[in-house]
């Protein structure tokens, strides 16, 4: 998978020692966090990494910064109203977690700085003018490049010698999933597998699709990223186990929750880097001039317990 060069940023936080900053009189700054995911231990850990990074830069909760958190709990229908509430509170900067959240916030404000994570292609999505110079009120850290979809298919094929069929489960309303679908479809003929798609909006539709697909042997499943999939990752993993379906997902928590494997970015690293941008914005940086950055850390996670119980996997 091609990786873009990592951009080193100079003249920001590192150029302003914490001791000098402490001498400046500071008003209480407000940071909004709008998160599509459930507030379970996995995602609370990511937010903790974000806040700890800010604290290391001198931003102490209740002293010189106040956090306003809103969680959609994996329910996409809640995101627009939460975005409206968040923007009406006029925070100094907002952390936008996932593409649907960024879409909703962009509809509400073109002035409050938005720093995103868990978004794939902000240029294609129309959020920024370019990666190097976003040009508006949005910047952040992408989750992956679309070519990663081909890697998921290759890993499933490598892990499952008998693989003949692959089901892609996606939310059709998520433009990231549509782009990943295109990438995977283009690669499938060279691998020799038959692809099918399940376009879903909730867990009931996910369950119906996987149960139906699992009736025929030699299949595997790619779970494309979306808050609906994330909110139901443990139930999806349990379904795949009951139907002996190898699965792959972008995020580590899926494999930890019972799925076969995941391949994707180091999520805590992205949240720490996002915190560095929030720090720079709070100290005067222009969001329009902070370049969007791609991931530079990836990890393959394999659920060995699942491998041993499967009987179908090569590892």
Position 164 pLDDT exceeds 50: yes
Residues 6 or more apart in contact with residue 59 via CB below 8 angstroms: 29, 65, 279, 282
The model carries a pTM of 0.79
Q: Summarize pLDDT for 7-58 with one digit per residue, the tens.
A: 333 344 444 444 444 445 568 999 999 999 888 878 899 999 999 999 999 9
CA distance 79 to 46: 19
Q: Summarize pLDDT for 238-289 with one digit per residue, the tens.
A: 999 999 999 999 888 888 888 899 999 999 999 999 999 999 999 999 999 9
Question: From residue 109, how far is each of 91, 155, 312 by CA, in Å?
Answer: 11, 41, 50
Q: Are 100 and 158 in contact (CB under 8 A)?
A: no
pLDDT of residue 313: 56
Q: Summarize pLDDT for 64-118 with one digit per residue, the tens.
A: 999 999 999 988 899 999 999 999 999 999 999 998 899 999 999 999 999 999 9
pLDDT of residue 176: 83
Query: Alpha carbon 49 to chain centroid distance?
Result: 15
pLDDT of residue 49: 97
Tokens 């909703």, located at residue: 104
φ/ψ of residue 9, rounded to 5: -105, 130
DSSP secondary structure of 35-62: E-S--SHHHHHHHHHHHHHHHHTT--BT
Q: Which residues pair with 114 in a beta bridge?
A: 94, 138
pLDDT of residue 41: 79
pLDDT of residue 9: 39
CA distance 247 to 190: 20
**Helix, strand, or coil (residue 183):** helix
Domain annotation for the chain: domains and CATH numbers: 13-143+266-297 (3.40.50.2300), 148-264+300-310 (3.40.50.2300)
Q: Summarize pLDDT for 192-219 with one digit per residue, the tens.
A: 999 999 999 999 999 999 999 999 999 9
CA distance 35 to 101: 7
Of residues 146 and 314, the one with the higher pLDDT is: 146
φ/ψ of residue 96, rounded to 5: -105, 115
pLDDT of residue 20: 44
């Amino acid at each position: 998978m091609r990786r873009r060069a990592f951009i080193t940023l100079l003249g920001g936080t590192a150029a302003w020692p914490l001791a000098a900053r402490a001498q400046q009189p500071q008003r209480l700054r407000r940071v909004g966090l709008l998160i599509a995911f459930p507030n379970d231990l996995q995602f609370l850990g990511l937010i903790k990494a974000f806040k700890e990074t800010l604290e290391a830069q001198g931003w102490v909760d209740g002293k010189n910064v106040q956090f306003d958190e809103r969680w959609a709990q994996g329910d996409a229908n809640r995101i627009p109203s939460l975005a409206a509430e968040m923007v009406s509170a006029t925070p100094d900067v907002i952390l936008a977690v996932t593409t649907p959240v960024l879409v909703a916030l962009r509809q509400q404000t073109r002035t409050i700085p938005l720093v995103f994570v868990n978004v794939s292609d902000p240029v294609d999505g129309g959020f920024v003018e370019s990666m190097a110079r976003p040009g508006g009120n949005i910047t952040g850290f992408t989750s992956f490049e679309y070519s990663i979809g081909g890697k998921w298919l290759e890993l499933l094929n490598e892990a499952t010698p008998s693989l003949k069929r692959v089901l892609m489960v996606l939310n059709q309303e998520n433009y990231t999933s549509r782009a990943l679908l295109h990438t995977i479809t283009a690669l499938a003929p060279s691998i020799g597998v038959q692809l099918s798609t399940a376009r879903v909006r909730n867990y009931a539709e996910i369950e119906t699709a996987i149960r139906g697909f699992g009736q025929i042997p030699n299949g595997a499943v790619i779970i494309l990223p979306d808050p609906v999939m994330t909110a139901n990752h443990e139930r999806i993993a349990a379904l795949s186990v009951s139907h002996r379906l190898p699965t792959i997902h972008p995020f580590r928590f899926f494999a930890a929750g019972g799925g076969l494997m995941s391949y994707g970015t180091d999520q805590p690293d992205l949240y720490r880097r996002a915190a560095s941008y929030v720090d720079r914005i709070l100290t005067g940086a222009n969001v329009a001039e902070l370049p969007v950055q791609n991931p530079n850390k990836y990890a393959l996670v394999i659920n060995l317990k699942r491998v041993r119980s499967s009987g179908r996997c090569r590892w």
